[in-house]
Amino acid sequence: MSAWAASLAAVFLLMSIYLTAQSTQTAAAQIPQDAAPMQGDAVRGKAVFEKRCTGCHALDQDREGPHLKGVFGRTAGSVPGFDYSGAISNSHIVWDETTLERWLTDPQTMLPGVNMDFYVAKPDERADVIEFLKEQSQQAGQH
């Protein structure tokens, strides 16, 4: 292969790598910080929560992750006695529909260095879980 052909091949390879990286950006990076989340269904959200979240979280007790009853209106990293990562402890995030949408879309993009690497890929499932957590927080006398 000539030097010209090798250079051309290298340019195409670099362009391919660049375009692939651009097209595989995470969804969280594409969600505006002030985007209004879609309306969810708390009944479906309970089912999603029980299926996808209870491996690490519970409503009333800490597990691998902190308890989530009362999460709406709570400052991230503020459950007494729970050992949070520095990234979440120092974030000053207050959990609401918008911050939970961004968090559940991709926690590592929202706050690099957090311990949670799980995400909810489907927007409707995120909305449902958020609605369920909001309802649980209201029942707990929060928000």
pLDDT by residue (tens digit) across 35-90? 555 789 999 999 999 999 999 999 999 999 999 999 999 999 999 999 999 999 99
Query: Does residue 97 share a domain with residue 124?
Result: yes
Q: What CA–CA distance (Å, rounded) separates 41 from 86?
A: 33
Question: What is the rounded CA–CA span in Å between residue 56 and residue 29?
Answer: 25
64 and 110 together in one domain: yes
Residues 86 and 64 in one domain: yes
Same domain, 6 and 36: no
Section 8-19 average pLDDT: 46
Domain that holds residue 18: 1-26
CB atoms under 10 Å from CB of 97, counted, come to 19
pLDDT digits (tens, 9 = 90+) for 82-130: 999 999 999 999 999 999 999 999 999 999 999 998 999 999 999 999 9
Do both 44 and 102 map to the same domain? yes
Give me the pLDDT at residue 33, please. 52
Q: Tokens standing for 131? A: 């609605």
Percent of the chain with pLDDT over 90: 69
Claim to verify: residue 64 and residue 117 sit in the same structural domain: yes
| pLDDT above 70 (res 14) | no
Q: Are residues 56 and 98 in the same domain?
A: yes
Neighbours of 89 (CB within 10 A): 15
- Structural domains in the chain (count): 2
Residue 15 has pLDDT above 60, yes or no: no
Indicate whether this model's pTM tops 0.85: no
Residue type, 143: H
Within this chain, do residues 101 and 68 fall inside the same structural domain, yes or no?
Answer: yes
